[in-house]
Structure 1
Amino acid sequence: MANHFHLNTPLLESVAMSKLVGTAVYLKMENSQPSGSFKIRGIGHLCQQMVRQSKGVVCASGGNAGMAAAYAARKMGVPATIVVPSSSPQLVVQRLQDQGATVKITGKVWDDANAEALRLAETEGLTFVPPFDHPLLWQGHGSMIAEVAASLGPGVKPGAVLLSVGGGGLLCGVIQGLKDVGWTDVPIVAMETVGAHCFNAAVKAGRLVTLDDITSEAKCLGAKTVCKKAFDYSQCNEQITIF
């Protein structure tokens, strides 16, 4: 991915966490990305593939995906509309506007904002940028694992990868990245927030389910339904442990 928008971020050992769990723990410092999170990897890659001739992009997000879409759109010189739920902090709205995005507040949770983003894409001819459910996103996120492999060096691989799950995009990207570097036997520990546990609920039910509501503290960040690809992985991949 030449001329991409994301940075090759440091892989740093956490002495405190390593002491706590009794083994070396390394942190992939995605908070140092120009948009503030790993989302720029996948969203930047998708925008480079799909947006060049676009009238503009629209993305529904409580924060990180919207920041990535707004950043990529600004760099590409196309307008960005970010639809956020009313639960989004004013600071998030201000940061999106600082990136040059038009911000529209719709509904209480991300799913409400996403429905409006889809409507705007249809009625105004904008390019819809999904925050977690698209193969190009997963391909972009997979670059993180290639960097980890390069940092650890030949013949060294992690005992496990620990990550968080919202809509499932990072999980799909990490699985793709592990395949790309030949680490398909590396276990994945997927963590969710109580009250936004759409992945855990789907795995327990054996089918995709939609939560009645997002009741976690960060209501603007949760998805009521995990992406199908993440659920499919959970059904055929014994390396995934979900909490």
Structure 2
Amino acid sequence: MPLHINTPLLESRPLSLAAGRSIWLKMDALQPSGSFKIRGIGAACEHHAKGGQRRFVSSSGGNAGIAVAYAGRRLSIPVAVFVPETTTGKAKALIRQEGAEVIIHGASWQEANERAMSALDPDTAFIHPFDDPLLWTGHATMIDEVVAQGLSFDAVVLSVGGGGLMSGVVEGLARNGLEHIPIVAVETDGAASLAAAMEAGRRVQLPAITSIATSLGARMVSERAFELTQSRPVESVVVSDRTAVDACLRFLDDHRVLVEPACGATLALAYAHSASLARYERVLMIACGGATASLAQLQAWHAA
């Protein structure tokens, strides 16, 4: 039995009016772990559990760790999550709430990830937060669900951190005969590793993550995500932290759902960057969610 749920597909009247075109939301913010991550991570954890692994280790800025912890609890397998020092207190509390161990190491996800890799043994499965074909196949189910509901769309808008969501959406489009559908990949300034790679024509490493959207905090995008920009229609858009936060607060008013700035970056294209959508009539936005920011934190960022 999958650990994720089939999430609602909603036409958003507020976002449609703001953008001047039809905006549909795949509401993965409503997944039990709070984000889309449980689709792929749940699939990977089930795969490794069936293979006899007795422990899961992951590295995360928040949402992937929460998803691994949730999956481990559901599968009765212990979990250790290595997080960087920038991880919010809320994210750490949610990981611990699922019964997992939290180990804090390093100033960035890369450093936490290196420490996690050193903690492996033959009985332990490493659950990568974004760079694993098992994850992409799991994430692709969101497109399967949209297609099954009969929605036609001419673009997909999604947020990019390491590139796992984009890789999964591309797989989902391909297996439903929709390879031609363009993707608008959104990042925040200070975490835009995909935009930097597309500009340079090769993967590059950001010197640091300076965005508040720490869930997008991969200093280098995955090789698979970069390859996809070279082989299919992908447009990069970078928004400010402030724009992402404003979108989160407007979305809370409009849809009564709290998401973090990593998701707000996508929503911002309807609220404040509708020119980026000018070529499209019906847009599918992945409301990827995120459980690592509280309302108080969003309000504090907004007031800063």
Same fold (TM over 0.5): yes
Is the alpha carbon distance of 1:111 and 1:187 closer, same or farther for their aligned partners in structure 2, counting shifts above 3 Å? same
1: CA distance between counterparts of 2:164 and 2:48? 18
Instruction: Give the C-alpha shift of residue 126 in structure 1.
Output: 2.1
8 Å Cα contact 2:157-2:186 kept in structure 1? yes
Cα distance in 2 for residues equivalent to 1:107 and 1:125:
25
For residue 107 of structure 1, give the secondary structure of its aligned residue in structure 2: coil
Which amino acid in structure 2 is aligned with residue 64 of structure 1?
Answer: N
1:145 deviation in Å? 0.2
Counterpart residue number, 2:99: 100
Matched, 1:130 2:124: no
Quote the residue 1:215 is aligned against.
210
AA aligned opposite 1:97: R
Query: 1:233 is aligned with what amino acid?
Result: L
Shift of 1:182: 0.8
State the Cα distance separating 1:62 from its structure 2 match: 1.1
Match of 1:226 in 2: 221
Which ranges in structure 2 are unaligned for 5 or more consecutive residues?
238-304
Out of 176, 197, 207, which is 1:181 matched to? 176
TM-score normalised per structure 2 = 0.75
Q: Which residue of 1 aligns with 2:5?
A: 7
Distance 1:192 1:109 in 2: 17
Q: Corresponding residue for 2:83?
A: 84
Identical columns (%): 45
User: Which structure ranks higher in relative contact order (CA pairs < 8 Å, sequence separation ≥ 6)?
Assistant: 2
Partners of 1:217 and 1:140 in 2: CA distance? 27
Conserved 8 A contact 2:140-2:172: yes
Question: In angstroms, what is the RMSD of aligned CA positions?
Answer: 1.2
Tell me the residue number matched to 2:245: none
- Give, in whole Å, the separation in 2 of the partners of 1:138 and 1:220: 17
More off after superposition, 22-31 vs 124-133:
124-133
Distance 2:89 2:33 in 1: 17
Distance 1:14 1:27, change over 3 A: same
Q: Alignment partner of 1:230: what SS?
A: helix
Q: Quick one: distance in 1 between partners of 2:196 and 2:216? A: 17
* Residue of structure 1 in register with 2:275 after alignment: none
Distance 1:193 1:67, change over 3 A: same
Q: 8 Å contact 1:157–1:183 — kept in the other structure?
A: no
Report SS of the residue matched to 1:36. coil
TM-score, scaled relative to structure 1: 0.94
Q: 1:51 Cα shift?
A: 2.9
The secondary structure found in structure 2 opposite 1:192 is: strand
**Pair 220,185 (structure 1): closer, same or farther in 2 beyond 3 Å:** closer
Alignment partners' CA distance in 2, 1:103 and 1:58: 10
Name the CA shift for 1:24/1:220 in 2 (closer, same or farther; >3 Å). closer
CA contact (8 A) 2:158 2:185 kept: yes
Gaps of 5+ in 1: none
1:198 and 1:45 map into 2 onto residues whose CA distance is 26
Note the C-alpha offset of 1:125: 4.8
* 1:209 alignment partner, SS class: coil
> Which one is further off, 14-23 or 172-181?
14-23
1:142 corresponds to which letter in structure 2? A
Q: Kindly indicate whether the alpha-carbon contact (under 8 Å) linking 1:86 and 1:108 is maintained by their aligned counterparts in 2.
A: yes
Rounded Cα–Cα distance in structure 1 between residues aligned with 2:35 and 2:83: 17
Please name the residue that 2:241 is paired with: none
Range that drifts further, 140-149 or 18-27: 18-27
Superposed structure 1 runs of 4+ greater than 6 Å apart: none
Secondary structure in structure 2 of the residue aligned to 1:25: strand
Cα deviation, residue 7, structure 1 = 0.3
Q: Aligned partners of 1:85, 1:70: CA distance in 2, in Å? A: 16
1:55 shift after superposition:
2.6
The answer to whether the 8 Å contact 2:162/2:216 transfers is no
Query: Equivalents in 2 of 1:206, 1:51: separation in Å?
Result: 39
Separation of aligned partners in 2, 1:5 and 1:148: 18
The one of 34, 37, 60 aligned to 2:35: 37
User: Cα offset for 1:61?
Assistant: 0.6
